[in-house]
Amino acid sequence: MIHYISGGQRSGKTNYAVQQALLLSEHPVYLATSRIWDDDHKARILLHKQSRDTRWENIEEEKDISKLQLANKTVVLDCVTLWLTNFFVDNNYDVDMALAEVKQEFDAFIQQDFNLIIISNEIGMGVHASTEGGRKFADLQGWMNQYIAQRADKATLLVSGLPLTLK
């Protein structure tokens, strides 16, 4: 089962995903995909880690998530935006290369039999990016969100902490 959860920054996506995971498993997996970019980001990551109790297995993997053996588990992937950023940066901001690589990695990852709850951001619903790189990334994010949502069994949009069922 794939449950895709999307929304804006601080919309309640992670809290909702965590609640859903705990309904499915007593010991879910939290798969964090972020690199530590600066001190502020490091502090955000620490807050996320501290919010999870001992029921959670925490795994950090920046890109190669398909190598993880997660069959028969419930997994929260947090988040597509940061995972996608790693591909975008590593491909020197080439949208086509990043999209091809991330789709291939995603397709390999979802071959496992597990409950997957995927968190992503709807950055295209926010302020229009003022830089070319920002606009390219917003496009990349939108295309990957569509790709994942099409493959998901369920899709939920979080707005102001409220879940809206899309699929």
In this structure, the chain runs to a length of 167
130 labelled ligand-binding: no
Cα distance between residue 143 and residue 62, in whole Å: 20
Residue 101 marked as a ligand binder: no
List the catalytic residues.
48
Q: Which residue spans within 28-145 are E strands per DSSP?
A: 29-32, 57-60, 74-78, 115-121
60 is annotated as contributing to ligand binding: yes
Q: Does 19 show up as a binding residue in the annotation?
A: no
| Helix H or strand E encompassing 20 | helix 13-24
61 is in an annotated binding site: no
Annotated binding site for GTP: 32-34, 49-52, 60, 78
Annotated binding site: 32-34, 49-52, 60, 78
